[in-house]
């Protein structure tokens, strides 16, 4: 592609093929608005547009988007040297920002999300791994330090929890189960990218239904736990772009816990550890369900914000 402003913006003189290429996108209005602006001006405009769209973390998100499209150059380098800000990069930024302004989660726009020490592939087929869920990883790692253990992650989604655990414990192996084959495809890609595929298997199935003859030392889960009636009130990022299968916990938000706990005595080895994520107000209910399923030493663990976030128990 050639044009007089290929690599030394501003971009108001695009002609011929370059102009046609620039115009050929859903994000054309945004591309057009930024034609002729330098990077600091584009940055200010993007922050304003994100705020207007109801996105609170507009400045940090703008920084993430800029960092993404400028790579391998850094934002500081690009601010110091306008030649690094090609019109192709501005067009790319407009494409990503266009999606984000429709409230697609930033993780899905960028295609990845940091979790624990990993950088995980994220699509609309999986729940975006959340910082809260690191409490579950931390709880399991604190409870189990030694041994070559078998881990099961029920409703594995992106594979986040299983892969974070395996990344910290070279002797552990694991199985991730999900009802969604599309989610499992993402989990497998993540296992490969994290170089953990040799110790992680992924199986399609409903909770432990397909695991009749297997048992595990550790069973973890971040199941759907949002009360169905609350789903419509969620942020647009979650409600409109994340899979309801990973979020909707049924009429009282507890259906998945009941289904999972019913199978635990069969698949959790004696002395084995069960740990699951919960909603901030579900500690008492999930503890009752876990104790009712025969688990011992059941207790709640709070997250870094002090909210109840994890329930653990042991097969006695």
Closest distance of CB 10 from ligand GLN, Å = 41
Name the residues that contact ligand GLN, by CB under 6 A. Answer: 130, 132, 222-226, 238, 247, 277
Q: Closest distance between ligand GLN and the C-beta of residue 229, in Å?
A: 14
Phi-psi region of 223 (alpha: psi -120 to 50; beta: other; left: phi over 0): beta
- Nearer Cβ to ligand GLN, position 191 or 226? 226
Closest to 191 (Cα-Cα) out of 149, 156, 242, 141: 156
CB of 249 to ligand GLN, least distance (A): 6
Instruction: Give whichever of 277 and 308 is closer to ligand GLN, judged by the CB atom.
Output: 277
Closer CB to ligand GLN, 85 or 184, in the complex: 184
CB of 154 to ligand GLN, least distance (A): 11
CA 76 vs CA 57, 94, 97, 106, 166: distances in Å: 20, 20, 20, 22, 36
Helix locations, the chain, DSSP H: 16-23, 28-34, 39-52, 58-70, 75-80, 87-101, 106-110, 134-143, 160-168, 181-193, 236-241, 255-267, 283-292
Please check whether residue 202 is in contact with residue 188, taking contact to mean a CB–CB distance below 8 angstroms: yes
Are β-strands 216-221 and 118-121 bridged in parallel, bridged antiparallel, or unpaired?
A: unpaired
Q: Of the two residues 200 and 310, which places its CB atom closer to ligand GLN in the complex?
A: 310
Cβ closest to ligand GLN, residue 238 vs residue 261: 238
Contact status, residue 34 vs residue 94, Cβ threshold 8 Å:
yes
CB 55, min distance to ligand GLN, A? 16
Alpha-carbon span 84 to 132, nearest angstrom: 37
Give the residue with the Cβ less far from ligand GLN, 34 or 115: 115
Q: How far is the CB of 237 from ligand GLN (least distance, A)?
A: 9
């Amino acid at each position: 592609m050639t044009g007089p402003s290929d690599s030394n913006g501003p971009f108001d003189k695009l002609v011929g093929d370059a102009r046609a290429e620039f115009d050929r996108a859903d994000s054309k209005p945004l591309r057009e608005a930024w034609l002729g602006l330098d990077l600091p001006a584009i940055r200010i405009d993007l922050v304003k547009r994100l705020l207007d769209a109801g996105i609170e973390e507009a400045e940090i998100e703008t920084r993430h988007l800029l960092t993404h499209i400028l790579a391998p150059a850094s934002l500081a380098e690009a601010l110091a040297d306008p030649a690094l800000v090609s019109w192709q990069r501005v067009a790319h930024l407009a494409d990503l920002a266009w999606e984000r302004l429709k409230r697609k989660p930033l993780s899905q726009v960028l295609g990845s999300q940091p979790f624990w020490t990993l950088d995980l592939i994220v699509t609309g087929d999986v729940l975006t791994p959340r910082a809260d869920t690191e409490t579950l990883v931390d709880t399991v790692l604190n409870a189990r330090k030694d041994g070559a253990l078998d881990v099961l992650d029920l409703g594995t989604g992106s594979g986040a929890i299983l892969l974070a655990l395996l990344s910290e414990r070279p002797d552990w192996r694991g199985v991730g189960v999900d009802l969604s084959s599309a989610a499992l495809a993402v989990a497998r890609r993540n296992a490969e990218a994290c170089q953990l595929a040799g110790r992680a298997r992924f199986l399609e199935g409903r909770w432990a239904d397909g695991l009749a003859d297997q048992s595990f030392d550790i069973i973890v889960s971040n199941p759907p736990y949002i009360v169905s009636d609350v789903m419509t009130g969620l942020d647009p990022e979650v409600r409109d772009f994340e899979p309801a299968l990973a979020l909707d916990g049924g009429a009282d938000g507890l259906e998945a816990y009941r289904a999972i706990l019913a199978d635990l005595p069969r698949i959790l080895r004696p002395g084995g550890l069960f740990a699951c994520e919960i909603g901030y107000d579900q500690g008492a209910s999930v503890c009752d369900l876990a104790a009712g399923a025969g688990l011992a030493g059941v207790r709640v663990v709070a997250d870094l914000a002090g909210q109840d976030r994890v329930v653990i128990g042991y097969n006695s």
